[in-house]
Structure 1
Amino acid sequence: MRITTIFIFLVLVCNGLIAQNGEVVADRLQEFQRIQSPEEKLEYFFASPFRYTESSAYDWLDTINVYLNSAEKINDTTAVLSYKLMQSQLYNDLGDYDKSVAIAKDLHDNFQDLGPRTKEMLLNILDDSYGKLKLYDQQLEIRKQKREEGFTENITFYDVYANIGLYREAMKRFIKEVKPTIADNEAFKLAKFYNQVGDFLRKDNSARTAIKEYKKAEGFLQVYINNTAVQKTEQELLESSLLKAKLEGNIGKCHVMLKEYDEGIPLLERSIEELTDFGDTNQKQQLVENSLYLAEAYLNRKEYEKAKKFLEVEAHDLSIDYRLKKNRLLASYYDRTQNYEDAIVYYKRNQRLRDSLELNESSILKKQLVALVANEEIENSQQLIEEQKSANERIRSEIQAKDERINLVFISLVFTLLGFAGLVYAYLKSIKNQRLIAQQKHIIENSLIEKDSLLKEIHHRVKNNLQMVSSLLSLQTKNTRSKAAIEALEEGKSRVKAMALIHQKLYQNDDLSVIEMQGYIESLINSVQSVYKKGGHNISITIDAEGTELDIDRAIPFGLILNELVSNSFKYAFPESDENGKIYIHLRKNGDQGYFEYTDNGVGLPDDTDERANSSMGIRLINRLVNQLQSKLNIDKTNEGVRFWFNFS
């Protein structure tokens, strides 16, 4: 994967070196200089998120300043506006948020004279810079203005809650606001979504749970990368490689938090190496975070020289939390290497930072939180006012309609009086009927409870009978000397266990009609691993079936299909070593349509698979079970390992 990342990076750099007229240019900065119009320069600048790959942000800033000075000398107001916007964004990228805000606020004074695209760029810069400066009340004002200008429909709050340390609340709002906007087939968006959920959990010190979310993100990212049916642009390839590097670093940080240093160190080192290849200023914070966590891991493994190397990272423009972390690690390094004088220096620095934090930042954050809640209450109040206005309009219409029907009401009153006697009679009769209905309902409810108990007992007994069959097969295995017969009996026992597990899940559920497949698949894999005691325990298995439920008619074929596929992977896919083995299981059902996919990165199927299909018990059984689901099995042998998939209804 490391070689693949470098190859993609080199291809993209080479593509960036060729201009449209065929001439070779040095990088994006020189391509930018070749553009004549300031407006086109502006669009090119903001459309190049990886503009610092070849030239640094300082090089860009020097170039923009030259253009800005020339435009100011000839009083070209349109060009001045474009270059100041780029200048503000560059200061933001360099971490000088005060200067970025000062330039942007100067432009904001003439906001109504700007064009729609320029307004949107300006408000985005102010939004980001205010957030970095922790001026959340002013950030929310900018977001309200973005909504008023039509650049966004709703004001989001989850990132502000995260910035003030309320990560659980931020995660709830993020899931509520973002998840409904992503379709089930948008694998890359789902990968970024679960990476962000993992970030919230990691920052809330829930590292173990965060790893699960990051693993989900890795699964969706792999699906996106393996999807050769969709042509990907240069930008999309870069973004997928960047997200992969970030995910490795995030998982590595979680392992360090859990004191699992052997697992975390290689992931962090690989992430740092890949992120460094991008040469992008925007990834600096991620690089610093990874370096500090890697230094912490080496310190705890007493590899002090390696730790010192990663503690030399610049962290002065990061948050106070990371500056505190760096000082704490340096103090620990000097303490452990018996340089107590330097250790005391860093302990004192941390104490001064904490005092400053307690005196200033704590009160500021409280004020920002009050402003946030107040803004949110104002938004809710405005929405309630609008709803109340609509309700008042409806009430007026209803009153007018009632006035028009008043004559009909008087006429109907006469008929109502005549029918009153009949209603009294009907009411008395209905009371008697309701009593009979209540008695019958009680009888039916008791019958249903008894039926559920009987069904659970039936499933329990079926499970016990299947376990007895499995035990008989085990006894037969012990009395059989033929290796082929033993293997056949073990396979039969595994299939019986797969069916028994279905009935076990049913009688354990409150709902006897469906089975929750995520838990069932996990239990099934544990069962298969118990059969193959010498293999399969080092394979990384990713199961993506959360929230999917199937009835027993579909669950049993799926259980037997998975039993065959996992057994085959354990037996044949990794003949030499399963240290780097991976299995990915994906099961989704949306309404009447469903999709199943199974992949492993083993040695793959032999070339004569199609010829063996007629003689192989496993392949024939899988094909029949897929046919039972009214579908057709697809097999992909072109990539590394093997991939099975089919749709079902």
Structure 2
Amino acid sequence: MQPERLQKARELEQQALARKDTNQLAEAYYQYGRTYVFVGDYLASQGYFLKSLRLLDPRGDTFELSRIYVRLGENESRSGRPADAFRYANLAVSVAHRARSLRGLGLGYGLLAILHQHKSDSWMHGNRAAYDSIMYYQQKKGAIYRSLNDTLGIAECSLELGTLYTKVKDDRAIPRIREAYDLMLLIHRDRLLANVMLRLAEAYLVFGRLQLAHQALLEAERRYVANKMDDYDILMGLEQTFVRYYQATGQWKEAFAHQQKANALAVNQLLSDRNGTIAQLNVQYETQKKETLLEAQKRELALRTKTLETQRWLTIVIAVLLVLAAGASVTFFRLYRRNQRISRRNEQLVREQNHRVKNNLQVISSLLNLQAKRLSDEAARTAVGESQLRVQSMAILHQRLYDGERLAEANLDEFIRELVEGVLRTYGNPPVQLSYNIDPVYLSADQAVPVGLILNELTTNACKYAFPGNEHPLFQIDCYLRANRLHIRVTDNGPGLDQSSVPVARTSEPTVLKRESFGMTLIKAQVNQLRGTYRFDTNQPTGTVFTMEFKS
């Protein structure tokens, strides 16, 4: 018995019983059955397969149901009941057809090919009809596995064909078995290679290649031991093939020793069948006990469900009485909730409005960008590009208004950083050293829009005049709140502004020189809207400082 396979089946059974999962329980019984097949206890194996069948049959046609019929047919064939074996094989093929399971059909056709081999040995003595029946099912199985691109299935078909050719002494036997060996080696199915080498040794014996047969037998035995296998069929096949090899080479002592081992295996198999019957009775008793426990649990669950239903109706009656008694309170509560919903709806509408404005501004920005690309005049393209940046600054603001934590207010720190970095990305200047010193301040939309336009103009001017040719460009923004007034200072280290084109100072009644650019005019207009003051100063040794303050 392979302890790891048995442990895996037990764990699967325990999980299935804990979850009350019949599908998983059917798989656990299937694994038990396969475990007992490997040790040659076909009686115990058949019992588990039948238990799995009882759980799978009500589910209808599936691959798992077809597979169970195949395993039942294999056990019936090993136990010398060919009629039952054929019945199960035909059931397996029928279920696989209805379930449209190619793998199920492959297993069913493979079993039919084996059963036709065991039906009579006349195909080994020239009965062409019997031989053609075997080859028919074998070829159908091979075609299915090739269509599925199943390397293991193709290898198994090659091995079965090679074994078939060996029995009719067809010289295609050895190449077929070698092909199966190469495929299984390719997909690392080491546990199956012992059986392949055993079949190859049998083929070498049939064709009189005794030295190669002995090498293959030793390799098969080595792999059997190395993989710690416990497979009755392979072990019996090894001993019988060793007997035939030593008989063919006249080593009668060794042949006798291996024949004794084969006889001991056969005796153990008979004892296993007897012990398996006793074990099967114990298993049936334990299974019936578990099924009785499950039935009791079902009854308890039904009783609990009924109790819960009664409690639910009682709760409903009490709730209705409470509602009738507290009608006035409920009315006031609903009014309160209604006001809350209206407030939330208004908040959603404001956010939706900001979102749509932002989207519209993005559309306008995109249109300006497309228009700028079509202009051939550089001055016009620059003007349109600057307008696009102004629109983009307002779009960023509206995004902050509906994305922020506060309704209709923008976080000044996040707004300034996103705006400045967006302008820098647009102009693509060399890396600029940015410095922000911004107090945590929230501005309303009425104040944030002018501030955004002013900062957009200042950043644009810095990108155009301060940063080009500057090895270490610097751009600094300071923002702090003092005595309910917001102070903003923007500093760069460029060559400075032409004093003939900018206002030297700005108060509530500023004096502006005649030659003002559109950007300077825009700054002036936005400061007026904020009812604030501003000024430009020269930064020593180079650069420009813009300062502004207004009531927050």
TM-score range, shorter-chain basis? Answer: 0.3 to 0.5
Q: Rg bigger for which structure?
A: 2
State TM-score, norm by structure 1. Answer: 0.34
State TM-score, norm by structure 2. Answer: 0.39
